[in-house]
Amino acid sequence: MTQVTAPSGSERFDDNGRVPGARSSSDIPAPGPGSVTWRYFGSWRGMLMGLWSGSMQNMHPKLAAGVWDHSDFFGERWERLMRSLYPISGVVFDQTPETGRSVRDYHLTIKGTMDNGERYHALDPDVFYWAHATFWYGNIRCAEAFGPPISEADKRALFEESRGWYAQYGVSMRPCPDTYEEFLEYWDHMCRHVLRDHAAVRTVLDISQLPPPPWMRAWMPMWLWRKQIRVVGRFFMWITTGLYDEPVREMMELTWTPADERRFRLFGKAVNAVMGLLPPRYESHPRRRDAVDRLSGRVAADAPLLESPLRNLPPESERGNPIHYCPVHASRRANLPWQSNDAAPRR
């Protein structure tokens, strides 16, 4: 039985996030082709979850401290988001533990001291599992809000498969709840008693100063982008408020009315209808699409993994820095119709 308690901060762990005596991950299989995780994870619907995922992660005090002190995220938000989606998706779709270990190792140097004097480390099991929880449970929240419809059986299957997904990182399994019911208790406890507002949370939610995404900069005039970004920002803040649990809304002092809930459900149905019109190939993130192509033989099974376009990479001098989620060895890049590497903005 997993005890649902707030992280004490006193637990000892090594730089790989392992705790002496913790449960081993070596005998937990990863979700594979045909799994519920493969069906729900990696859809472009997840882009509507971006502010929810980023803000929920940063509501964990220790995770927020690590992001605020170490991350390059706020200086290149689009690029960091787009390139980190590849390895994070790859933990599920690559079918090799090497991807999970790489993502883990991006966090080895992220540690420090919080304002209250408490130390933090990105590989603290409680911190690392919270980030994972937002990814796997985000599948359920996304499906509930934007489709495709999800059954209770599929929710439970996603939970069971999330344990195998988490095991791919090679870190302590100690924080993982044993049952779906225990996970829901854990999630509710985190929302009510652990999560906190933080400057990192508010910065994630404020996209008013966000530049155009790299793929749009070649043709979107800056004056037009600036004119519409505030409207888009308010709309995405509304979406994110609808996705939050009620205790989080209260903590963030956000208003949500019955009328908002009705409009939110109608919007979700519209999203599901539109996404249902897309060919499955283009409804998927490139890393999931690449995994399917390997299974079908469209891509050789031993071909290099598909990576983020060059335009999303940090400066060459920074590519060896693990905090950038940058696989410096990557030799194969995404090649979707809209993915040129021209990122020069128009004025």
Question: Cβ(232)–Cβ(218) under 8 Å?
Answer: no
Give the up-direction half-sphere exposure of residue 255: CA atoms within 13 A in the CB hemisphere. Answer: 2
Domain boundaries, the chain: 36-318
Tell me the backbone φ, ψ of residue 148, rounded to 5 degrees. -65, 160
Q: How far apart are CA 56 and CA 141, in angstroms?
A: 12
Angle 9-77-338 (CA atoms, 0-180°, nearest 5)?
135
What pTM, to 2 d.p., does this model score? 0.86
Q: Could you identify the residue written with the tokens 């799994």?
A: 35
Q: Is 21 exposed, middle or buried (0-12, 13-18, 19+ CB in 10 A)?
A: exposed
Digitized pLDDT (tens) for each residue of the chain, 347 residues in all: 333 333 334 445 454 444 444 444 556 888 999 999 999 999 999 999 999 999 999 999 999 999 998 876 667 888 888 888 999 999 999 988 899 999 999 899 899 999 999 999 999 999 999 999 999 999 999 999 999 999 999 999 999 999 999 999 999 999 999 999 999 999 999 999 999 999 999 999 999 888 888 888 888 899 999 989 989 999 999 999 999 999 999 999 999 999 999 999 999 999 999 999 988 888 899 999 999 999 999 999 999 888 888 888 877 777 777 677 666 554 455 554 434 444 433 33
